[in-house]
């Protein structure tokens, strides 16, 4: 990723070519509330980029971070979720 050029965030349909998302777009992708994104950001559970008042999330970094620090709990039948 080039750091000398700022690429504006993608539309609500998905990340742009650099995989950059806003809070709202990240909430949509993770299927969680905007408030949850803001809480996770404040708690340090999500990596983010802040430029002035603009907060952006690099999708590949978010996924890598979540995979490294969190896991899917498996049930007795070997599937995630509730049994």
> Is residue 12 a part of any domain in this protein?
no
> Is residue 82 a part of any domain in this protein?
no
The helix/strand count (H/E) of the chain reads as 3, 3
> Which H or E element spans position 13?
none
pLDDT of residue 14: 53
> Is residue 37 a part of any domain in this protein?
yes
> Is residue 44 a part of any domain in this protein?
yes
pLDDT of residue 76: 73
> Is residue 29 a part of any domain in this protein?
yes
CA distance 43 to 38: 9
Domain range for 44: 20-69
Of the candidates 53, 1, 3, 64, the residue with the CA atom closest to the CA atom of residue 23: 53
> Is residue 1 a part of any domain in this protein?
no
pTM: 0.66
At 21, give phi and psi (nearest 5°): -130, 150
> Is residue 79 a part of any domain in this protein?
no
Give, for all 83 residues of the chain, the pLDDT tens digit: 444 433 444 444 456 667 999 999 999 999 999 999 999 999 999 999 999 999 999 999 999 998 888 877 777 766 655 54
> Is residue 7 a part of any domain in this protein?
no
Number of separate domains in the chain = 1
């Amino acid at each position: 990723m080039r750091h000398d050029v700022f690429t504006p965030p993608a539309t609500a349909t998905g990340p742009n070519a650099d995989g950059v998302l806003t809070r709202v777009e990240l909430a949509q992708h993770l299927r969680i509330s905007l408030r949850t994104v803001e809480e996770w950001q404040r708690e340090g559970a999500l990596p983010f980029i802040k430029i002035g008042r603009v907060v952006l999330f690099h999708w590949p970094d978010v996924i890598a971070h979540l995979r490294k620090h969190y896991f899917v709990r498996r049930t007795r039948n070997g599937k995630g979720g509730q049994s």
